[in-house]
Chain A
Amino acid sequence: MSTQVPEQTEEESSADTESQSQSAAQQARMEKKRDRAAQRDQQREAEEAEREFSEDGTYLLKVFRYDPEIAGKQEPRFDEFHVPYHTGMTVLDALMYARDEYDSSLTFRHSCRQAVCGSDALFVNGRQRLGCKTQLSDLEEPVRIEPLPHQEVVKDLVVDMEHFYDQMHAVEPYFQTNDLPEGEQLQSRENREKIKMSTRCIWCGACMSSCNIAAGDNKYLGPAAINKAYRFTMDEREGEDMKEHRMKIMEQEHGVWRCQTQFSCTEVCPKDIPLTEHIQELKREAVKNNLKFW
């Protein structure tokens, strides 16, 4: 189902590059490296063979089902699917197989299948993950697939993202400046480096779903929105007055101060954004702005 990466032959990369003129030490190192590679290959093959035989080649999925529009399906339940496994199969691949082969009414969101669109954030084995980025082989059986917690379920694995999007829009997630630029607005390398991780957000909503505080306080902006605000607040090209404007949004009662550093969001983020770190930095920024000794 997923796009297959063509397998490269190992000879291309390592073996041919060696030449006779290399020192003995280098040759010894290469020898060791080859040994290690062989060992790794052996281990992997053994693991794969074991999996193939012990589980007769299928993975058991337990998928949350709920459909408010059909009388018999209004009570939530778990459906079981035995999906034939192939190497490199992701949770999304398995779900697509189940939908295509077993039950066409199984509903879930997906689009790009490569962790870019942020459509298929799911609650897999007790953790928010992207279906397309999660290998079945990394999970314990049975694989329990549920819709994101703390969001209302519309049908099966589809949750209502409206509130999440509202919070994202509340922080004005777009570049704005009051200075009229003369030509291109170049960013310094250091500044780019600073906001690099925060630009990776794909709006999947995994962080918001994992956040215990966001679950209890509906007005809390949530990690994704604050990270978005961080991305623009820390962007030097917006200018000081815009930064002040952004900090005003962040300092509100349901802004950065609601974060209680549980690190849940940082742990589930499929793009490895250090969300808690960004929230903490905005907190310090807010303190610096408001602390006056006079």
Chain B
Amino acid sequence: MSQSYNRGLIEDFGRWKEFSAGMWAWIFHKFTGWVLVGYLFTHIAVLSTALTGAAAYTETIQTLESLLVVRILEVGLLAVAVFHILNGLRLLLVDLGVGLHAQDKSFYASLALTGAIVVASVPTFLAGVF
């Protein structure tokens, strides 16, 4: 047989406009998962300043919390965590075989709920930084 033509990567993520709900849920779940793993390292780094003494830890935290960037990142972290939790629950239902025909709706629901929770949290996270 003649040599056949391979169309390469353009078939996958180059077609993001054509993705369906389930595919987006998968991508977001992977992404938020990796972000949370990354956060874990910075979390441990900050907490471990307590090893050198209570004062060092307090100072680190106070410095970080006075920065606007950190506050905004915290809102982002909440968004990522909430979506990961909600979609995780959705995947749990999918694994149990419950409501598979409504999997797209449950994805949209978890997105909407994430949005609502994040918006509601903004005043709390940004209070006192300005």
Selected contact of A215 from candidates B11, B94, B97, CB within 8 Å: B11
Give the shortest distance, in Å, between A197 (CB) and chain B (any CB): 12
Proximity string of chain B (97-124) to chain A, C-beta cutoff 8 Å, 1 when within and 0 when not: 1001101100000000000000000000
Pair A150/B11 contact, Cβ less than 8 Å: yes
Residues of A contacting B95 in the complex (Cβ-Cβ under 8 angstroms): 261, 280, 283-284
- What is the interface size of chain A, counting residues whose CB is below 8 A from a CB of the partner? 30
The number of inter-chain residue pairs (CB within 8 angstroms) is: 73
Residues of A contacting B3 in the complex (Cβ-Cβ under 8 angstroms): 68
Give the shortest distance, in Å, between A183 (CB) and chain B (any CB): 36
Q: Which of A7-15, A88-96, A129-137, A152-160 contacts B (4 or more CB under 8 A)?
A: A152-160
Residues of A contacting B18 in the complex (Cβ-Cβ under 8 angstroms): 126-127
Residues of A contacting B91 in the complex (Cβ-Cβ under 8 angstroms): 261
Selected contact of B12 from candidates A127, A153, A215, A276, CB within 8 Å: A215
Partner-A contacts on B (CB < 8 A): 1-7, 11-12, 15, 17-18, 20-23, 25-26, 91, 94-97, 100-101, 103-104
Partner-B contacts on A (CB < 8 A): 66, 68-69, 74, 76, 126-127, 149-150, 152-155, 160, 212, 215, 260-264, 266-267, 274, 276-277, 280-281, 283-284
A-B contacts besides A212-B23, A263-B104, A276-B94, 5 pairs, CB < 8 Å: A68-B2, A154-B2, A160-B4, A262-B23, A280-B100
Enumerate 18 A-B pairs (CB-CB under 8 Å) in ascending A order: A66-B5, A68-B3, A76-B7, A150-B11, A153-B5, A154-B1, A155-B2, A160-B4, A212-B12, A215-B11, A261-B103, A264-B22, A267-B22, A274-B100, A276-B100, A280-B94, A280-B95, A280-B100
